[in-house]
Amino acid sequence: MLTRFPDSRSLWDDWLIRKLLPENHILLAIDQHIDFSFVEEETRDLYSLHHGRPAYAPEQLLRVLFLAYFYNLSDVRVAEELRYNLLYRAFCPLFSG
């Protein structure tokens, strides 16, 4: 079941990103210049709107896969990094919960 999760970034999160993360980091430039939202439209037919468990947002999954490929991380390692790496969490975005 495909559900659209609300944007979990708050004003506090945006301020924190600007203050703590390096302005010229490659991931922030990629996030700013590449629109990953196309994947939602491309994968819409693969999800049921009414049946099954709620799925992760396709854009979020693509961003996680991008991190794994870009930094040559295993699935286990990228999941571990997403738990505490603020830069990765800002890129995906994974600020809630």
List the chain domain ranges: 11-91
DSSP element (H, E) containing 17: helix 11-20
Please provide the distance, in angstroms rounded to a whole number, between the alpha carbons at the two ends of the chain: 20
Angle at 39 between CA 45 and CA 20, to 5 degrees: 145
Contact assessment for residue 18 and residue 87, using Cβ atoms and an 8 Å cutoff: no
Note the pLDDT tens digit of each residue in 13-60. 677 777 888 889 999 899 999 999 999 999 988 888 888 888 888 999
pTM of the shown model:
0.78
pLDDT of residue 97: 44
